[in-house]
Structures are given as C-alpha cells and as structure tokens.
Amino acid sequence: MNRELSWLKFNERVLEEAESEKVPLCERLTFASIYQSNLDEFFMVRVGSLVDQMMISGEIRDNKTNMTSAQQIGAILKQVEKLNGRKEAVFGRLMESLEAYGIRLVDFHKIGKKESDYLERYFDAEIAPLISPTVVGKRQPFPFIRNKEIYAAVVLERKNGKEKLGIIPCGTGVFPRLIQVPGGEGTYMLSEELILHFIPKVFKGYFVKAKSLIRVTRNADIDADALYDEDLDYRDFMVELIKKRKRLAPVRLELSRELDGDIVDTLCGYLDVSPEYVFRNNTPLDLSFLFQIEDRLRQIPVLFYEKRVPQTPAQLKKGVSVLKQIQQKDRLLFYPYESIKPFLEMLREAANDEDVVSIKMTLYRVARQSKVVEALIEAAENGKEVLVLVELKARFDEENNIEWSRRLEEAGCHVIYGLDGYKVHSKLCLITRMADGQPEYYTQIGTGNYNEKTARLYTDLSLMTCDQEIGQEAAAVFQALAMGETVEHTEDLLVAPNCLQGPVLDMIDEEIARARNGEDAYVGIKINSLTDKKIIDKMIEASCAGVRIDLIVRGICCLVPGVKGATENIRVISIVGRFLEHSRIYIFGTEERAKIYIASADFMTRNTLRRVEVAAPVYDDTIRMRLLKMFDIMLRDNEQARELGSDGIYRRVENQEEPLDSQDYFFRMAYEAAACGKPAAEADREETQKK
C-alpha cells in the first residue's frame, strides 16, 4: 500500500471517532480538530515533499506501489476531497448536538436585525480599528499570506469597471475568535465571518463583486543538512531556517465560498499554487476554536471522557530512593496509566546525589515548562557533568528546543545539537554513579519523549535498569554522539542506523528457520508506522514460511495482510482511541523463548537507517510477562481496534467476545494496582484468575 494513502486511512480513523456517537460530544469536537490539524501537517510535510520531488523529477517512484510523485498527489487530492465531505457532514451534526447544551455558532442568515445591528456596532468599535486592509495594485504588492492563518479576500470594482483585489488578515490575535452574539449566553459568531460580512465598510468607494475567506498551507519540507554551511553556528543557522520555512511555497489553498474560476486563477497566480490544490470548505477553515467551546462546557461531565489520572506505580515505593529500587530490580513505567513522576524523581535524586558524577540524555521533544530540563540544570549547577543532545531538527519543535539549549548551556551543561545527516530520535538517559570506586550505570530507555504533558496523553513505555552491560552500551552511544559518530556494533541494545534493521531481519530469519523446521514461530510488533520495505519483504517471506505475525500499527502500514500465498499469516490492527498509541514493542519468538524489546523506532526507513534510535532488550521475567500480557490485551481489543483487510480497508473489530477497550482496561488495572498496593502485573494476574 502507498505510504501517503495509508496515512490518509489513519486520519480517516481519527475522523471516525468524531463521527462515533459512543464518544462523548466534546471529545468528538477534539477528534474533528485533530483531523484538521493532522491534515494540515500532512500537506506541509508529505505533500510538500512530493511537490518538491515532482519539480526535480516526475519519474521518482514509490518503492511499494511504483506510483510517481504526480500519481500520488493526484490520488491524495481525490481522497482528501472525499474525507473533507465527511468532515463537513460530521461538523454539521456536532453543531446541531451542541444546541441542546446552549451553544450555537451562527452567521448572518441565522440572526435578526437587532443582533445584526449590535454586531455592526461591535465591528466598528472593536475590530475595524485593528485590521490592516490591502488593495493590491502596482504600488501595493500582494501581501505575504502566513501559513494556516485566515484572510478575507474580496474582488472590488470601481465605477469605471476596473477590478482590484482586497486582502484583510483575520487572525491577528488582538480580538477574540468567538464573538458573543446578544440574545443568548452561548451564541457565537466567528470573527472572520463578521469581517467578511462588513467588508464593504472597509473598502468604501468600491463595489464588492465577490468575497471569500482563504487559508493557505505552506510547504514545510526543508532539508537542514543539505543547506547547512559548516562555517555557521548551527543553532543560529536553525533559527534562520525556521524563518525561511515560514515563507516556503503554498501547497494548498482553502476557500470558504464558491468563487468564479477567473478569481481563483488570479489568487493561484499571486500565491503560485496550482488550481488542483484548491479546496472549497463548508466548515470554518480553522477548527481550533472548538477547544474554546469545550472549555465553556467543562462543567458538564457527561460531555467528556471520565476523568483519569496517571497513577503512582505500586512497584515503586514512595519515600525510598528510586536509584536504590532500580538497583534491586528493573522497573517499567507505562504512560499515561502510570505517572512519569518516578522518572522525574530519579533525575532530581541523581542531581543531588554526591556520588553521581554524570547525567547524559537525548532530548527530542520536551514540554514548554520542562521539569526534565530543570532537573538537568540543577545537576549542572551542583557540579555534575551533564551532557545533553538537543535535537534541533525535531520538526515544529525547533524553536522550543533552541530556547532550552540556550538555558542548558547557560547552566553549564555540555550541549550538542545532533549529527550530520541523522536525526537523534532515541529516548536514552544514562546516570553514572561511583560505588566503591567503580562506575555504576543506571539507564533509562523509553519509547516516547521526555515530555510531562504528552506523558498524560500518549501511551509509552519507560524501562529503568541497573544492568551494567546495557549501561556500558548506552555509554558507548553517548561517546559516539559526542564525537559526531554512530555506534558500529552492539550486543544488547539495538541502535540505528547501523545496528537495528539488520538484527531485526536476523531475528525474523530465526523464526523463518524454526517454521521451516516444523516448530511454532511467532513475531509480534507494536509500532506507529510500517514502511521499511526490507522489513516488509522479510515479513512476507516469514508469512509464506508459516510464521504467525501480529502487527499493531497505529498509523501508516504499507503491508497488506491476508493476501493468499503472501501475507495470509499476518494480522494487522490499528487502535485509535482516547490516548495516542505511541509505544513500540518488538517480540520475536513464542512466549517461552521470546526476545522482547521496547524501542523509540518505528519500522520506517527514516527510523531504521537515517536516525539514531535505541531499542532495549527486556530481561526481567516479571516485566517480560507484563509486556506479553499488554500485547495480548491490545490484540483482543474489540472496541477501539480496526483490522486491516486484504482489500486494504480498515474495519472495526467485531466478535462475540466480551467488550474490551484496551486503554480503559489498562487504566482500570493501574487504579486497582495503586489502590491495593500491588504492582500492575500482579493485579492483572488476579483479575485474569477471577475471570
């Protein structure tokens, strides 16, 4: 399956959550907004990349389907048109449902003269003085249209018949997006609709022939490594690169009204965008205001998911040194069901432990107010050696990372910015402590970012271990990074770009050999995306040999399962629910002999060959059994899971089994474990035994 079309199928599953009446109403608003923001980023990154490819050479082909860049773009635009039709339908239903709770979004067709007169006075007093209209002409060039911001575009005609184009920015941020309409506490109009309606008052002396709101999505695909000049400071270079990205060419133009073809052509000419990239929307061009509506309804619990709070894991005792507890036994945290606080406590403890000599860490995306970074700064101020790799190429997080890198440097941390040609996407933390004159390693390897906010929204795993062999390999990874290199060989960890794809292929080969020898053979993988063709081809070979393969792939999946004679032993499911599935688990072999890893890497070529990624083996028996149980629960999800068929279509899992929402199950187990003071794995076993 083509990568881009598979991603659109994922966003369709997000849209299905907005459509589902099983989902509380305000949460459906969230899914509708996520659908739109996902699509924005898709155009900025993926469509932008394809446009660039097409300009370089129209014959660059997808290695899965042999489609050219132009063919992929054509298929994408066609599918997006269909999905947007569904978005418009669900938006209409959501707005109707909100009326029962006193919320109405209106335009001038839905209000009377009294309300209209009030809004005119409001426009004159509060908005007109703050807007900056432009009439495009020889002395007034077409203004720069900012990425994803809303503008009013109007065709103006003078008495002499000459036409001009007027542009007004509507998203200045100095006036509210939702404007209260008199006569009802919850009745609102969007500010851009108000501006568009009263546009004749702005362009006096002109006749308004046509008008529409417009929104542009700009290409954000820019290769930092290809443009970098070694004579420049890298951080300063990234600051300039971010500015440049904001001005890249548009790859989509959205309109709120139907406009004459000549007018659309004129806009396309000014914006340098082809007419096939123009979309007419019957919904607001930016749905982020839906979060404001949710805030106004917060006091009605039935409109939201039941409140869930990450629990303190029973496996870790409060008031006892986290480092000592890790020394006794490996520990696993499972976000968002369990809290990130024990990891933060471990960092703070290390920052203040006189025997800790160094903390080394990779940072990809961190919170705006990061307790992780605060702990690292505290460690540096306490005289510890602190080495931090801050990945400045973390797309759309560059500015946040640049600011934190400055703060870390000011505190005395040794900050490095990544490697030439590779993004450092690993989630690796190494604490070195002196014990009896010898270095003692405490290593944390995660599947998700060191971000306290997303740890409450994304499902991720965090392994904390005192295994010295793993610690030594983590130290080798950091040593290589500090020298601008990548590790060439590992025994325990799987480390991309040199030591991950190959071992994964080898472990699948081991299962193929067992299957051909008549033994039970198994591969179980949970990732966000599957696009690596070498791994896909190896999985097809394994399926043909009789290896049973279960894939839990949230997003892109270029492998089509269930195809007779090729992938009939492969099952693919995707779980889309309240929390973003983000954890990565690799299982090679049947339960009694399984090699189990947690990892930062998806099976995408960019992860396996073009990034520094780390997968950690799980050796502790209790944690191994816990991960196997987690994987099994997700495979049995029949509430939020969709199964991919041999026809390339995802369908909700329907069976006669007891309803099981895996995310809800994991939270219930976390609450029960916290209440009874028993580790989640033990509480889970007792629950199973009861059944």
* Extended beta strands in 32-149, E state: 104-105, 134-136
Total Cβ atoms within 10 A of residue 44: 23
Three-class SS state of 640 = coil
296 token code pair? 């106004």
Is 109 one of the annotated active-site residues of the chain?
no
> For residue 682, what is the enclosing H or E element?
helix 680-690
Beta bridge partners of 135: 166
Q: Where are the alpha helices (DSSP H) in 113-231?
A: 113-122, 191-197, 199-202, 224-227
Residue with tokens 């006075």: 121
Distance CA 325, CA 190 (A): 55
231 token code pair? 């004579």
Distance CA 492, CA 504 (A): 13
Distance CA 392, CA 233 (A): 12
Between the two ends of the chain, the Cα-to-Cα distance in Å is 40
Per-residue HEC secondary structure of 230-289 comes to CCCCHHHHHHHHHHHHCCCCEEEEEECCCCCHHHHHHHHHHHCCCHHHEEECCCCCCCCC
Distance CA 648, CA 643 (A): 10
Distance CA 676, CA 668 (A): 12
352 token code pair? 């203040």
Task: Please classify residue 236 by burial: count the beta carbons closer than 10 Å to its beta carbon, then call 0-12 exposed, 13-18 middle and 19+ buried.
Answer: exposed
- Give just the sign of the alpha carbon dihedral 618, 624, 628, 630: negative
- Give just the sign of the alpha carbon dihedral 582, 583, 588, 592: negative
Strand 207-218 relative to strand 150-157, pairing: antiparallel
For residue 395, give the nearest of 234, 223, 554 by alpha carbon: 223
Q: Which of 109, 197, 425, 489 is catalytic?
A: 425
Distance CA 584, CA 223 (A): 27
For residue 484, give the nearest of 429, 420, 430 by alpha carbon: 420
Per-residue HEC secondary structure of 590-634 comes to CHHHCEEEEECCCECHHHHHCEEEEEEECCCHHHHHHHHHHHHHH
Residues 6+ apart with CB under 8 A from 636: 657, 660, 662
| Cα 121-122-124 angle, rounded to 5 deg | 65
> For residue 403, what is the enclosing H or E element?
helix 398-410
Three-class SS state of 678 = coil
| Cα 169-175-177 angle, rounded to 5 deg | 80
126 token code pair? 């509060």
For residue 570, give the nearest of 630, 508, 624, 615 by alpha carbon: 508
Residue with tokens 């029973």: 314
Q: Which residues are catalytically annotated?
A: 425
